[in-house]
């Protein structure tokens, strides 16, 4: 199977990959539809069973209490006409209570409800039978003795047997109604989240898959600086338009999806341009120091800006935040326009055509196929990043549902990782790992990282935070080495295309693993699911990085700092 796939023409491979990504979006949309079906089921339980059951049993309670009142009136009335009316009314109340009980029984679906109802029915039948055996005597007594007689013969039985059993049925219905209501609310939130997720994943998959493939050959032939500056300029314009729109018009979900598609496209475009131009900006011999700085910037900005963004959201609103982002994007474009670097233009006098694009992509694919080290690094990183991204929702679900945990506790994971990444980045910037030890260190980090993931949810919470801090510390060190080694190894004329193929591989693997891990989380304990994910990534590491250790080691062991 693998040989047949490798023997396919490049166009056929790309068509298969693109079609598969679109199929993933369809599957996610179907999962969202299934979520709405589950919502309908819970709402049916709430409206057709729980609420109706509460209404019926409330009427039963009324009928039984009216019968209780009629008992006293039946015994007290000595006039023949009044007594006949009370006797008829007494029988009507008994019949009405039984009719309502029969109607309630028709709606019983739960074992506990059946148990409570059967007990109530038996108690009620016994109470009515007991009354029928004494009611003539009660009517024949003198009025001064009737109250004491009924108190002794009926009140105790009613309060100690009928009332508790009726209360048990009423309480169960009230609790079941609240449970169904909460379940419906949870299902609604989940279903809406699934639909939005399906749409956003579809919106992100297509640009992240298509744009790098289409534009990377052009970036390898033309100067890349205009792509970088142009991308941030267009970003600034889009954010400004969106900000002005939200300040003067109502939010539109369709417009938001369209805007997300544009931003996702520009993000893929900008990311490709950045990763293609950044290695050329770092002085030779300082690659790892450069990636150490860039690797620390993102987590610092993420941790600092998250609370700032929340504060701004409450004080100035989304529209003004987008305007601020517009200004920042334009400032970034202005700063990037001042970059001085030598670039070549191999398109002079040529017209970029599909034939030229196909030839360039085929050359890049052939190069990657022959570079076993790069291919195995790309493959493992796609899997480990895909696994981490796929089980992230499972971690949130675990902290939501596990006793003693909360989503707020999960949020501290990012701070623990930030602390580890910051410390690791600072140490890596100042201390050099010997060239001959880089591969062994990287492989140790990969295995340790996967082992930490396997153990994560089985640990006490303080050890979980230490776990994430260690992963942040080790992860940034291996990431710095890997990025510097890979970008140093890739020829500049192939850089954009190989980064594009890596991006496509990441998106494809993430799409596959998201579905598989999500399905696994539906049937297994969350802790077992995350453990299996870590074990799978560890096995892939052995099958790629270790199996091709000679080729991978040659990439890591290149001299980098002078």
DSSP-derived secondary structure for 59-82: HHHHHHHHHHHHHHHHHH--SHHH
Mean per-residue pLDDT of the chain: 80
Report d(CA 519, CA 21) in Å as an integer.
18
pTM of the complete model beyond 0.75: no
Q: Is residue 562 predicted with pLDDT exceeding 50?
A: no
Residue 215, number of CB atoms within 10 A of its CB: 20
pLDDT grade for 241, boundaries at 50, 70 and 90: very high
Residue 167 CB partners (closer than 8 Å, separation 6+): none
Per-residue pLDDT, 77: 67
Asked if residues 511 and 201 have their Cβ atoms less than 8 Å apart, the reply is yes
Least confident of 20-24, 294-298, 381-385: 20-24
The CA distances from residue 477 to 335, 503, 535, in Å, are: 29, 21, 22
Per-residue pLDDT, 444: 93
Asked if residues 270 and 232 have their Cβ atoms less than 8 Å apart, the reply is yes
Q: Is residue 381 predicted with pLDDT exceeding 70?
A: yes
Most confident of 90-99, 225-234, 277-286: 225-234
Q: Is residue 114 predicted with pLDDT exceeding 70?
A: yes
pLDDT grade for 86, boundaries at 50, 70 and 90: confident
- Which of 1.10.10.10, 1.25.40.80, 1.20.1250.20, 3.40.50.150 is the CATH number of 371-561? 1.20.1250.20
Give pLDDT tens digits for 303-332. Answer: 777 778 778 877 888 888 889 999 999 999
Segment 469-483 shows an average pLDDT of 89
Residue 545: its H or E element: none
Segment 227-243 shows an average pLDDT of 90
Q: In angstroms, how far apart are the furthest CA atoms of the chain?
A: 122
* Structure tokens belonging to residue 127: 């109470």
Per-residue pLDDT, 180: 67
Residue 516 CB partners (closer than 8 Å, separation 6+): 390
Per-residue pLDDT, 446: 93
Asked if residues 345 and 227 have their Cβ atoms less than 8 Å apart, the reply is no
Q: Is residue 379 predicted with pLDDT exceeding 80?
A: yes
Residue 290 CB partners (closer than 8 Å, separation 6+): 278, 281, 282, 283, 484
CATH 1.20.1440 fits 38-183, yes or no: yes
Q: Is residue 124 predicted with pLDDT exceeding 80?
A: yes
Per-residue pLDDT, 121: 87
Q: Is residue 370 predicted with pLDDT exceeding 50?
A: yes
Report d(CA 556, CA 545) in Å as an integer.
11
pLDDT grade for 546, boundaries at 50, 70 and 90: very high
Q: Is residue 347 predicted with pLDDT exceeding 80?
A: no
Q: Is residue 256 predicted with pLDDT exceeding 80?
A: no
Report d(CA 500, CA 209) in Å as an integer.
8
Asked if residues 104 and 54 have their Cβ atoms less than 8 Å apart, the reply is no
Q: Is residue 260 predicted with pLDDT exceeding 60?
A: yes
Per-residue pLDDT, 185: 61
Give pLDDT tens digits for 393-452. Answer: 888 888 888 888 887 888 888 888 888 888 888 888 888 888 888 899 999 999 999 999
Per-residue pLDDT, 453: 92
Most confident of 203-217, 486-500, 506-520: 486-500
Segment 468-483 shows an average pLDDT of 89
Per-residue pLDDT, 251: 79
Percent of the chain predicted with pLDDT > 70? 83
The CA distances from residue 151 to 68, 388, 521, in Å, are: 12, 71, 60
Which comes out higher in pLDDT, residue 230 or 19?
230
Least confident of 205-214, 253-262, 344-353, 358-367: 344-353
Per-residue pLDDT, 123: 86
Which comes out higher in pLDDT, residue 65 or 555?
555
Per-residue pLDDT, 17: 55
Residue 543 CB partners (closer than 8 Å, separation 6+): none
Give pLDDT tens digits for 500-544. Answer: 888 888 888 887 888 788 778 878 888 999 999 999 999 999 999
Segment 167-171 shows an average pLDDT of 82
Q: Is residue 19 predicted with pLDDT exceeding 80?
A: no
Report d(CA 413, CA 426) in Å as an integer.
20
Per-residue pLDDT, 561: 44
């Amino acid at each position: 199977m693998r040989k047949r796939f490798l023997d396919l023409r490049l166009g056929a491979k790309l068509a298969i990959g693109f079609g598969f990504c679109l199929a993933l979006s369809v599957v996610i949309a179907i999962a969202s539809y299934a979520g709405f079906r589950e919502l309908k089921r819970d709402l049916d339980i709430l409206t057709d069973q729980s609420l109706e059951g509460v209404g019926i049993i409330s009427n039963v309670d009324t009928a039984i209490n009216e019968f209780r009142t009629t008992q006293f009136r039946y015994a007290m009335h000595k006039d023949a006409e009044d007594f006949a009316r009370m006797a008829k009314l007494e029988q009507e109340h008994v019949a009405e209570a039984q009719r309502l009980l029969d109607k309630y029984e028709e709606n019983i679906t739960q074992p506990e409800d059946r148990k409570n109802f059967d007990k109530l029915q038996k108690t009620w039948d016994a109470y009515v039978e007991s009354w029928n055996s004494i009611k003539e005597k009660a009517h024949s007594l003198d009025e001064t003795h009737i109250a004491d007689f009924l108190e002794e013969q009926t009140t105790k039985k009613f309060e100690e047997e009928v009332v508790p059993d009726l209360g048990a049925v009423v309480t169960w219905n009230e609790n079941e109604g609240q449970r169904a209501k909460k379940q419906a609310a949870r299902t609604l939130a989940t279903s809406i989240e699934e639909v939005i997720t399906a749409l956003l994943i579809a919106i992100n998959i297509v640009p992240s898959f298509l744009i790098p493939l289409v534009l990377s050959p052009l970036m390898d032939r033309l100067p890349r600086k205009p792509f970088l500056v142009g991308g941030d300029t267009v970003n600034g314009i889009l954010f400004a338009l969106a900000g002005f729109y939200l300040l003067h018009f109502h939010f539109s979900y369709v417009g938001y999806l369209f805007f997300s598609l544009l931003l996702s496209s520009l993000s893929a475009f900008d990311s490709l341009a950045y990763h293609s131009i950044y290695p050329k900006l770092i002085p030779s011999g300082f690659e790892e120091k450069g990636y150490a700085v860039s690797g620390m910037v993102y987590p610092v900005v993420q941790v600092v800006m998250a609370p700032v963004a929340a504060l701004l959201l409450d004080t100035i609103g989304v529209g003004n935040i987008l305007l601020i982002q517009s200004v920042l994007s334009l400032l970034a474009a202005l700063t990037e326009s001042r970059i001085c670097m030598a670039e070549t233009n191999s398109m002079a006098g040529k017209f970029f055509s599909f034939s030229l694009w196909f030839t360039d992509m085929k050359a890049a694919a052939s190069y990657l196929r022959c570079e076993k080290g790069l291919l195995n690094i790309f493959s493992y990183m796609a899997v480990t990043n895909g696994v981490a991204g796929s089980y992230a929702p499972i971690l949130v679900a675990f902290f939501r549902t596990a006793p003693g945990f909360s989503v707020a506790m999960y949020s501290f994971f990012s701070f623990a990782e930030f602390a580890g990444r910051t410390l690791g980045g600072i140490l890596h910037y100042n201390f050099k790992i010997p060239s001959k030890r880089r591969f062994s260190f990287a492989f140790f980090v990969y295995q340790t990282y996967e082992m930490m993931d396997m153990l994560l949810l089985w640990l006490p919470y303080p050890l979980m935070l230490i776990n994430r801090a260690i992963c942040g510390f080790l992860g940034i060190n291996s990431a710095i080495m890997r990025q510097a080694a890979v970008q140093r190894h890739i020829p500049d004329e192939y850089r954009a295309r190989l980064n594009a193929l890596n991006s496509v591989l990441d998106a494809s693997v993430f799409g596959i693993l998201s579905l598989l891990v999500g399905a696994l989380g539906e049937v297994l304990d969350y802790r077992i699911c995350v453990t299996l994910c870590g074990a799978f990534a560890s096995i892939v590491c052995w099958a790629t990085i270790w199996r091709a250790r000679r080729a991978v080691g040659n990439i890591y062991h290149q001299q980098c700092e002078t």
